[in-house]
Structure 1
Amino acid sequence: MTLKKWINLTLISLLLVAILGVLLRYKITFSLPIINQKYLQHSHSHFAMTGWITQMIMILLACRVSSVFSDQHFKKYNFVLFFNLASAYGMLVSFLFQGYGPVSIFFSTCSILAMYVFGVQLWRDMSKSTVKLPSFPWFKASIIFAFLSTLGIMFLVYLMASRNRDINIQQATTYYFLHFQYNGFFFFSCFGLFLNILDNKGINLTGTNKFFWFYSIATAISYFLSTLWMHFPLGIYLIVAASGIVLLMGWVWFVNQLRGHLPALRPSLSVPVSWLLLLSAIAYTIKVILQAGSAIPSLNNMAFGYRPIVIGYLHLVFLAVITIFILGYLLYARYINYNRLLWYGMIVFIIGIIANELALMLQGLAAMSYKVLPFINESLFIITVVMLTGTIMVNLGIYKKSSKHKD
């Protein structure tokens, strides 16, 4: 299957994620007895990660690495892309009807195997390539983080099979998986793709090798920021707290380095692409500030003690940082047709993302005061409908003819 067909098919997965999100919010707000809420939640989260983000990242990384070989090299990845997408749809259906059960665990295992096959294949291609792109170290690190994250899934399955009901262990394992997926696999893949944009424009930042190693090590250690309730000894706590500060200062350093090259970069980026990349960068800035702030025990208890705040943080990374970046990269690389319908769809989608973050933040702040905001669930339901509307417009827009990028 061609690259364009893969991208169009995966954007349909984003549409399905939005539909599941609407159903989930409808279930919370109104009555929908035919659907189990926990099952729907599992289906939504697993398919969003595997069927949308992971699938699209696999496509973009395979395309980038294949570009140094030949036009036909990308077809080598067709099997593993089919395998991963089939696993994602299997999880979508099985989790919806049985939650964690034999069938859903089978498809989860298949998705892990797909990740292993993809990672090994991509790593071999990067090692064989005579052209060493600046993005390759970031792609390799993303694979390592993806492999590490699968250990969390395996351990969760073990906990369920052994009927271990320890909430703390389950929570720590869940955060382990999410951390190495979101902050490891997702971010490092996208950052490597951004370096691809800079490399195409002949922009080389000094000190990126040291930046890479500092960021990789700090990312691994910063997992423990989500488990500070374990009450580490002071020495370990200081190291963990320092990892959050390193991530924040590293990001400040990178942005400062990039500022000097903006005059050369801006003319080569269309206005829509520039806005999408800027919004993603702003969202990531907020994310690293919150992550560094979580080293303060009182803030950590608030961040991980209230469900709306946890959900808001996950959506911040998943939607505002990663998804918006991917949409920007697709436009930059001209993998999707640019037209007004597509752009307006993205605007509607982004308005929904921002409104969702604000609503979840207000809900979390109210929960801290043991208050319930009036009509908050109804508002969140309407917001998910807005995001769904945006994804529908985007999916319709990719089939319209291209138009010139206009301010």
Structure 2
Amino acid sequence: MIQLKNHTNVALGYFFLVGLLGALLRFFFVVPIPANFRHLVHAHSHIALLGWVYIGLSTLIYCMYFSKAAVEKVYQRIFWFTQVCLIGMLLTFPFTGYAFLSITFSTLFLIASYSLTWFFLKKIPAAHRKKNSFQLIRASLFFMVLSSIGPWVLGPIVVTSGSASIWYKLAIYFYLHFQYNAWFILALCGILFFILEEVNLVPQKRQFWSFFWQINAAVILSFFLSVLWTAPHWSFYLLGAMGAVLQVSSFLKLYHILSPLWKSFPLKPFFKLLLKLCGLLLIVKILLQALSAVPFFADLVFNFPDLVIGYLHWVFLGVVSIPLFIFLSRFNLLQFPKGIFWIYFGAFIMTEVLIFYKGIVSYLELPLFPTYFKVLAYSSLLLPLTVGILFFNNFLKNPKTSPKGTEV
């Protein structure tokens, strides 16, 4: 029997390392550190997306649909091959940056992700194939594969145009967009609908499909928001604006679907509170993304990268990671003490305020307060601290059953 709680611990371990790397990057501006800053950035970003979030989501998807299916050997092979790729990246990126070995492990990871997608789509039990939750999971997997076009074209772009070209940056934005706004968000929505389906809380068919097609159209069209910094043809602004509008309308549709079901929602009161908090974080994300449809803000974001960093951390640490904590706890794969969460959330908000503050101050051409970098660096230590406590707490405690009554 696959020990899915151990897979959760692996994901948490990556998150802990990501937090340590993030804090180390901020101490570069406080004390001398004998390491390459840019190389550590690559390691930090790759393990954040491909370690914590990817492993967390794939563990949940397996737990939902495959706990009773006789396919664990295939999944285990894919899982451990993925770990070889991740550990390879973790051991090469900090020392070499983008070089032969790190690129090799990154490429192998893409192949592993294709294998996982094949596994989920091919081996899904027939009883789940037509469920609303799986429609969202399937769409999220499609966009995950689509996002990989970005890394694949980076090599040819470097050879033909160089890493300073707009095509290089557009390839990275393409990858990040379909990871953050499609694979992560749609998968989380799928997990949410699965929890509802477990207690037969199924929305009307028309309501669901309206939400489904709107959010998929929003994902595709909102990519054009990521190209506006290039000052393209006016049609790109129109397409980006349409994506922003559809994004708002799709999540309004989701709210209307969930609202009448909320009292019967099968979550503990604390987790329901956190879902409401996630809703507020999501609203901020949508508003920030919609603002980039305005030429002034598109130029602002391009010229002041702290605003982009703040946005990406807002989505990663808040909009994505908090629901992951909730859902892993819901399936008895994670012990999630309230006190630890509030320390994590306080550190998240504090660091976000400081990052956006730097972007705004840079735009206004004002000086930072004298101890800015020290405050940011020491505040950042709270994030790996809380994740480390979650990891060791989860490692020591052993939940016996999943909501379906299967060993995890």
> Alpha-carbon deviations, 1:101-139, whole Å to 9, x = none?
000000000110001100111111237556532111111
> Alpha-carbon deviations, 1:77-108, whole Å to 9, x = none?
11111111221111111111100000000000
1:85-100 aligned within 5 A? 85-100=83-98
1:299-314 aligned within 5 A? 299-314=297-312
Question: Sequence identity of aligned pairs in percent?
Answer: 27
> Alpha-carbon deviations, 1:164-206, whole Å to 9, x = none?
2443112111111100111111111111011112212322223
Matched, 1:350 2:348: no
On the 8 A contact 1:218/1:246 being kept in 2, the answer is yes
1:371 Cα deviation after fit:
2.1
Which residue is 1:175 aligned to?
A: 173
CA gap of 1:301–1:382, structure 2 versus 1, over 3 A, is same
**TM-score normalised to structure 2 length:** 0.92
Q: Tell me the distance in 2 between the aligned counterparts of 1:172 and 1:99.
A: 20
On the 8 A contact 2:217/2:246 being kept in 1, the answer is no
Which residue is 1:118 aligned to?
A: 116
On the 8 A contact 2:128/2:134 being kept in 1, the answer is no
Matched, 1:333 2:331: yes
Which residue is 1:372 aligned to?
A: 367
Task: Tell which deviates more after alignment, 145-154 or 83-92.
Answer: 83-92
Q: Tell me the distance in 1 between the aligned counterparts of 2:203 and 2:220.
A: 24
Matched, 1:289 2:287: yes
Which residue is 2:51 aligned to?
A: 51
On the 8 A contact 1:25/1:381 being kept in 2, the answer is yes
CA gap of 1:162–1:397, structure 2 versus 1, over 3 A, is same
Q: Tell me the distance in 1 between the aligned counterparts of 2:313 and 2:30.
A: 19
On the 8 A contact 1:150/1:177 being kept in 2, the answer is yes
Match of 1:395 among 385, 391, 397: 391
Which residue is 1:31 aligned to?
A: 32
1:273 Cα deviation after fit:
1.6
1:163 Cα deviation after fit:
6.3
Task: Tell which deviates more after alignment, 36-45 or 72-81.
Answer: 72-81
Q: Tell me the distance in 1 between the aligned counterparts of 2:24 and 2:138.
A: 37
Matched, 1:209 2:209: yes
Task: Tell which deviates more after alignment, 106-115 or 328-337.
Answer: 328-337
1:197-346 aligned within 5 A? 197-206=195-204, 207-265=207-265, 268-338=266-336, 342-346=337-341
1:72 Cα deviation after fit:
4.4
1:162 Cα deviation after fit:
4.5
> Alpha-carbon deviations, 1:14-36, whole Å to 9, x = none?
1111111111111233210x210
Q: Tell me the distance in 2 between the aligned counterparts of 1:30 and 1:355.
A: 21
> Alpha-carbon deviations, 1:31-84, whole Å to 9, x = none?
10x2100001111111111111111111111222214xx254344311111111
Match of 1:392, SS state, is: helix
Match of 1:284, SS state, is: helix
Match of 1:106 among 92, 104, 107: 104
Matched, 1:386 2:387: no
Q: Tell me the distance in 2 between the aligned counterparts of 1:202 and 1:154.
A: 42
On the 8 A contact 2:335/2:390 being kept in 1, the answer is no
Q: CA RMSD in A?
A: 1.9
Q: Tell me the distance in 2 between the aligned counterparts of 1:328 and 1:75.
A: 28
CA gap of 1:248–1:77, structure 2 versus 1, over 3 A, is same
On the 8 A contact 1:283/1:321 being kept in 2, the answer is yes
Which residue is 1:12 aligned to?
A: 13
1:345 Cα deviation after fit:
2.1
Letter paired with 1:2: Q
CA gap of 1:377–1:133, structure 2 versus 1, over 3 A, is same
On the 8 A contact 1:148/1:180 being kept in 2, the answer is yes
Match of 1:135 among 129, 133, 136: 133
1:237 Cα deviation after fit:
2.4
1:337 Cα deviation after fit:
3.2
CA gap of 1:308–1:166, structure 2 versus 1, over 3 A, is closer
Q: Tell me the distance in 2 between the aligned counterparts of 1:38 and 1:209.
A: 43
Q: Tell me the distance in 2 between the aligned counterparts of 1:74 and 1:351.
A: 39
1:252 Cα deviation after fit:
1.8
Q: Tell me the distance in 2 between the aligned counterparts of 1:163 and 1:286.
A: 36
On the 8 A contact 1:15/1:391 being kept in 2, the answer is yes
Match of 1:154 among 129, 152, 158: 152
1:379 Cα deviation after fit:
1.6
Which residue is 1:363 aligned to?
A: 358
**TM-score normalised to structure 1 length:** 0.92
Q: Tell me the distance in 2 between the aligned counterparts of 1:376 and 1:155.
A: 38
Letter paired with 1:350: F
On the 8 A contact 2:229/2:302 being kept in 1, the answer is no
Q: Tell me the distance in 2 between the aligned counterparts of 1:45 and 1:359.
A: 20
Match of 1:172, SS state, is: helix
Say how many residue pairs are matched: 395
Q: Tell me the distance in 1 between the aligned counterparts of 2:57 and 2:73.
A: 16
